[in-house]
Amino acid sequence: MDLFHNLVLGFSVALGLQNVFFCLLGALIGTLIGVLPGIGPVATLAMLLPTTFYLPPTPALIMLAGIYYGAQYGGSTTAILVNLPGESSSVVTCIDGHKMALKGRAGAALAIAALGSFFAGTVSTVLIAAASPPLAHVALQFGAAEYFSLMVLGLTGAVVLARGSLPKAFAMIFLGLLLGIVGTDLNSGQQRFTFGLPDLSDGINFVLVAMGLFGAAEIITNLEKTEGRKVSAVIGKLWPTMDEFKQAWPAVLRGTGLGAILGVLPGGGALLASFAAYTMEKKFSKTPERFGTGAIEGVAGPESANNAGAQTSFIPLLTLGIPSNPVMALMIGAMTIQGIAPGPRVMTQQPDLFWGMIASMWIGNAMLLVINLPMIGLWVRLLNVPYRLLFPMILMLCSIGVYSVNSSTFEVGLTALFGFLGYIFMKLGCEPAPLILGFILGPLMEENLRRALVLSRGDPLVFAQRPISAGLLIVAFALMALVILPSFRKTREVAFTE
């Protein structure tokens, strides 16, 4: 009954006129940036973070959440019609989705992608509503030692599940931790890594780091790309046949279950879920040779998984205050901007915000189903907009957004510097996601480490003496041991290569 009453409260908040408007706005923006190749949800959320200064907390977070799961819907459109993923989690949709488009079955592929995403989003929202209260209750028992150990586990998981070289992932997390402690030490009052610059005495603003690493760097990288876009002109009948439905629905169920699990893992989310779902569908299929030639399961499984993974990644954010991927790190940044401390107390202290955001996901998924199918013609026309016309407007909005935060030209320059660094990282094969997780968790880890040591009078064994803390550290060390093993490293490299 408590869950029912909480959902009634959530819908009463989410159905408010202002919240419905921002939910629709987030869904539209998410679909748009999913459709347009070269603009992902991370970059978009980074660019829109300054706008949250001027919005109440609930509509601001509802809009940002809508952008994230909306991009999973929109990314399938460009993947199927253009063979160019608008969002990274839609990469595997290109393989069979575009082949279906070339056979005149683009409409069926788009419909299955939208329906599978809607089903996965609905189920995942139920899971969030059901799983969040008990997890938040457990999290309320956490002390400083448990939170420190949980963050160690989160960063370890981010390394294990990060693409590319392990040493590079470690280096990026370490750099993020260092950047996170720039500024004035709250305990001693000493300035750290400020190089005598007064502008750095309050630390580096999360908005400009995210906007530079993901927004500006993405623009620079996309300017190098010269390939054209050939849109499949034949959409075909916008409804799958009965045989296609029979082939697709088991893939939708499996993709939803797998995505829901992987979304909760540190470093997981939509991208990992979509790749894993495609691999699983090939394993389950009695005719795996069909994959790569237009198998509808190759669209249904990944598209369901990426939406389920996108939404269940909110579980650790809402219950523990721990980001499982870069988008959730940006959500923590938005909550911090609003003066909200992420964690289990949000549910008890701000139930309107917590349950309103969950209920808005149901409304947002229904809106996305309506937005995507009837408006396919509009999205196809948008695909023909040249990127050379888009990027100056994006850069201008980035600069205005950064300047509006503190009216500081220094921060605009620092954003440009992080954009250049992000571009170098991409060239070196260094994924920026671990850096942003380290940047967010670094100050929190330091704070909880110091608090735990103060409470234990300097005894470091406190982390091993508390059962939950010890268990989390054991899991973290076990993951580290697995990473060191050559057989595991080889399997990991093969998995990411595939």
Mean predicted confidence (pLDDT) in 63-80: 80
Q: What is the mean pLDDT of the chain?
A: 79
For residue 86, pLDDT over 70 is answered with no
**pLDDT tens digits, one per residue of 50-60:** 777 788 888 98
Q: What pLDDT, on a 0 to 100 scale, did the predictor assign at position 486?
A: 65
Dihedrals phi, psi of 124, to nearest 5 degrees = -65, -35
For the record, the structure tokens of 498 come out as: 């595939």
Q: What pLDDT, on a 0 to 100 scale, did the predictor assign at position 75?
A: 73
User: How far from the centroid of its chain's Cα atoms is residue 206's Cα?
Assistant: 16
Alpha carbons 270 and 72: distance in angstroms, whole number = 8
Q: How many residues are given for the chain? A: 498
**pLDDT tens digits, one per residue of 398-424:** 777 677 667 778 888 888 888 888 888
Q: What pLDDT, on a 0 to 100 scale, did the predictor assign at position 233?
A: 47
Start-to-end C-alpha separation, the chain: 46
For residues 128 and 311, the answer to whether their CB atoms sit within 8 Å is yes
Alpha carbons 320 and 157: distance in angstroms, whole number = 15
Mean predicted confidence (pLDDT) in 89-112: 79
Secondary structure element (H or E) that encloses residue 224, with its range = none
Alpha carbons 486 and 279: distance in angstroms, whole number = 23
Alpha carbons 330 and 210: distance in angstroms, whole number = 8
Is the pTM for the entire model greater than 0.85?
Answer: no
For residue 317, pLDDT over 70 is answered with yes
User: Reduced to 3 states, what is the DSSP secondary structure of residue 405?
Assistant: helix
- The per-residue DSSP string of 48-64 comes to HGGGGGGS-HHHHHHHH
For 281-316, give the secondary structure using H, E and C.
HHHHCCCHHHCCCCCCHHHHHHHHHHHHHHHHCHHH
Q: What pLDDT, on a 0 to 100 scale, did the predictor assign at position 386?
A: 67
